[in-house]
Amino acid sequence: QNWKLAKMLCHFTTGEQRAEFLPRYMDVDTSTMAIGMTEPQAGTDNIMPATNVDGGAQLSAVRQGDNWILNGKKHFIACAAMSNINFIVARTNPNVPVNEGATMFIMTDEIPGFRRGVVHGKLGARLLMNAEMIYENAEVPEKWRLSEVDGGLPYMARVFSRHSPTTATFGVGIARAAFEDAMTYARERVQGGRPIIEHARIREILADMYVSITVARDTVWHAAWHADTAGDDEYDHKQGMRAALFASEIAPQVCTRAMNIFGGNGYMDTHPAERHLRDAMMCYHIDGLNDTTRLKLGRLLAGEAFAGAL
């Protein structure tokens, strides 16, 4: 999370904003950043922007002198339970679709009118500590506005246009951890007078896990290489999308196989297999649902373009 948002902080802010926020990030060991898009009534329609005015982010920002007054709520926001630097998408023009009427701001967690709400209880990935962010007549200085007024989603599309390969690494990393733990267990667990890794069926399961992980990892590496080397006119968004989609799909599959190798122990919290599976389920939802990624990828394959962050 911090790595992703550090790019925005370092390369997509003004000199004045960097002078104010970089020390806050670099000098505080516990500094954490969060980005608020999702709301109780707005999720996928931010990622595939709604064409009606009622869709997408509704947290409002109204200009008053040198400040913007924010009102509304974000939820499910990763790291929001402890973030001290927040990036917020707010609706600055409610009379047009969200892609034409939202603005991106940067702010601290100390602004008047801001408070944290519920810290969401989650199945896995609990260290991300998703939480509500509540703004009640919260004052944000104009100097903290990041995007052009009403240009928040196009701004995000520029910032995160090549981000998909990093999203894919979640799935690869979790799957690899599950595989390595399963390998260790299979060497140590004895059944039928020998380690279970010597049983043919266990070897078959491990082989399938290995193939899935290495194919996903190679796909991510290729997508990351392409993101680093392709020019603006050459970059193919499909490369990152396929990596993110494939890695997020294989992670729960690999983790389920790991649980099977652990047998009954796999279901117990005294062993790591159940935690890996819980964490892997997060991959279906990172940066939008997998079904949303499929829709976007399908549109690109059909030669269609669409607005909004890819």
The CATH number given to whatever domain includes residue 70 is: 2.40.110.10
- Indicate whether 66 belongs to any domain: yes
User: What confidence tens digit (pLDDT) does each residue in 279-290 have?
Assistant: 999 999 988 899
- Indicate whether 132 belongs to any domain: yes
Boundary residue ending a domain (115, 149, 183): 149
The yes-or-no verdict on residue 308 having pLDDT over 80 is no
**CB within 8 Å of 153: residues ≥ 6 apart:** 46, 49, 89, 98, 99, 102, 307, 308, 309
Residues 245 and 293 sit within 8 Å (Cβ to Cβ): yes
Which among 1-10, 162-171, 270-279 has the top mean pLDDT?
270-279
Task: Say yes or no: 191 and 261 in one domain.
Answer: yes
The yes-or-no verdict on residue 82 having pLDDT over 90 is yes
Task: Say yes or no: 14 and 136 in one domain.
Answer: yes
Residues 231 and 150 sit within 8 Å (Cβ to Cβ): no
The yes-or-no verdict on residue 38 having pLDDT over 60 is yes
Task: Say yes or no: 230 and 251 in one domain.
Answer: yes
Rounded CA gap, 310 and 305, in Å?
11
Task: Say yes or no: 173 and 248 in one domain.
Answer: yes
User: What confidence tens digit (pLDDT) does each residue in 201-216 have?
Assistant: 999 999 999 999 999 9
Burial string for 197-220 (b: 16+ CB within 10 Å, else e) reads beeeebeebbeebeebbeebbebb
- Indicate whether 154 belongs to any domain: no
- Indicate whether 269 belongs to any domain: yes
Distance of CA 30 to the CA centre of its chain: 20
Six-digit token string for 190: 């004895």
Q: What percent of the chain has pLDDT over 70?
A: 98
Task: Say yes or no: 145 and 257 in one domain.
Answer: no
User: What confidence tens digit (pLDDT) does each residue in 173-196 have?
Assistant: 999 999 999 999 999 999 999 999
Boundary residue ending a domain (104, 127, 149): 149
Task: Say yes or no: 241 and 116 in one domain.
Answer: no
Task: Say yes or no: 229 and 173 in one domain.
Answer: yes
Boundary residue ending a domain (149, 175, 206): 149
- Indicate whether 306 belongs to any domain: no
Instruction: Read off the pLDDT of each residue in 247-269 and give the average, rounded to a whole number.
Output: 98
pLDDT for 310 equals: 47
Tokens 């990763």, located at residue: 78
Q: How confident is the model at residue 234 (pLDDT cuts 50, 70, 90)?
A: very high
**CB within 8 Å of 227: residues ≥ 6 apart:** 162, 164, 165, 235, 239, 240
CATH code, domain with 287: 1.20.140.10
Q: How confident is the model at residue 305 (pLDDT cuts 50, 70, 90)?
A: low
If one counts the domains in the chain, the total is: 2
Residues 107 and 86 sit within 8 Å (Cβ to Cβ): yes
Summary mean pLDDT of the chain: 94
Task: Say yes or no: 230 and 115 in one domain.
Answer: no
- Indicate whether 55 belongs to any domain: yes
- Indicate whether 307 belongs to any domain: no
pLDDT for 56 equals: 94
Task: Say yes or no: 202 and 144 in one domain.
Answer: no
Structural domain boundaries, residue 129? 2-149
Kindly report whether the global pTM for this prediction surpasses the value 0.85: yes
Length of the chain counted residue by residue:
310
Task: Say yes or no: 67 and 165 in one domain.
Answer: no
Instruction: Read off the pLDDT of each residue in 258-273 and give the average, rounded to a whole number.
Output: 97
User: What confidence tens digit (pLDDT) does each residue in 134-166 have?
Assistant: 999 999 999 999 999 999 999 998 888 888 899
Task: Say yes or no: 129 and 171 in one domain.
Answer: no
- Indicate whether 309 belongs to any domain: no
